[in-house]
Amino acid sequence: MPTRGKPAGHYTQAARLHNVIRLIESRQGITLDELVEETGVDRRTVHRDLAAVLEAGYPLFSQWEAGKKVYRFLTRSRQIPPITFTLDELVSLHLLRSLAPLLPAAPFGAEIDALFAKIHAALPPRSVAHLERISRVALPRLQGVRDYAGSAELLTELRRALLYQYRLRLSYHRNGRQPTAYEVDPYTLVLAKGGLYLLGHAHNRNAIRLFAVERIAALTVTRQHFELPDDFDPEACFADAFGLVRDQPMQVTVRFDRDVAQTVRERIWRPGQLVTDQPDGGLLLSFEASGALELLAWVLSYGSHAELLEPPELRRELRRQLKGLREIYRKKPKE
């Protein structure tokens, strides 16, 4: 008796791939063992067939569910029901759209515009104008917006690697140094400080690394598929960081004077922070964090309104930087 799901007669690879694609499309998710049973071939052949499906451009991905790896396609347009939004949800979407200038215009800008064109086509013109008026402004001026001019092709390839879980070979330069070659499994994109960062596993460092996209000099998408580790948690990569950089965590205490105390008090700077009011109207802010350079830049941004009390080594470094600033501003400006 032929195995269930296996066509009668000569079972060519083309026919088998067609059957694999049909099975994945028709299920909410299918395991490797189920594919073996349905197609009547061994596990190694099914693995080759899945690689061929990826090679053909199908958006195949896998994830662990109840201890088993389940395969499905990223998009199943025939199974997606119509999407409706409340008015409050539309306001939230338009607020998110105001952050679009933080993303590179190509390829993201045109696609965001196309997305909202579809939404606006279903709304009265007056409602569209009202939604855009109340939620259209984003001002990322403090840190600026990164310049991705000329990077559209690189970003398109990077997104393809992320979607289909293809390994990358990239050339990356830091602070004017000669570019370094990396082989990277791209895990996720991080939007921070007005720019995009790639978070992934660097094989030649055997560790997860963060790459500023604008510093990628060249990028090649391989056809080598990778699997995300079951325990990968992108947020955990920045759990103790004040910004993006992780180094040795330290206990930080800063005294803020009364002129900025209310502004500081109104924000959450780090989980578990401690705010202590002072008799003169100022406050002490304490928390644990890593990222020495980012912490120094943050304290310096408050000028004479903030005093770094601890840790002692960071206070010494701040004193050294202030001495350098004093020397700069003692000089007469050059014409």
Chain center to CA of 259? 36
pTM comes to 0.69
In this structure, which amino acid lies at residue 308?
A: L
Please, which residues bridge with residue 185 across strands? Answer: 201
The whole-angstrom separation of Cα 121 and Cα 116 is 8
Residues 6+ apart with CB under 8 A from 309: 253, 254, 255, 284, 315
Share of the chain above pLDDT 90, in %: 39
The whole-angstrom separation of Cα 96 and Cα 80 is 23
pLDDT at position 263 is: 95
| Mean pLDDT, the chain, integer | 86
Q: How far, in Å, are 142, 240, 298 from residue 308 at the CA level?
A: 22, 19, 10
With 90 as the cut, is the pLDDT of residue 120 above it? no
- DSSP sequence for 20-84: HHHHHHHSS-EEHHHHHHHHTS-HHHHHHHHHHHHHTT--EEEEEETTEEEEEES--GGGPPPP-
Two structure tokens written together for 3: 């195995």
With 70 as the cut, is the pLDDT of residue 5 above it? no
Share of the chain above pLDDT 70, in %: 92
The whole-angstrom separation of Cα 43 and Cα 71 is 14
Q: How many residues does the chain have?
A: 335
182-193, pLDDT tens digit by residue? 999 999 999 888
> Quick one: which H or E segment has residue 260?
helix 258-265
The domain 13-78 having CATH identifier 1.10.10.10: the answer here is yes
User: In CATH, what number does 166-237 get?
Assistant: 2.30.30.520
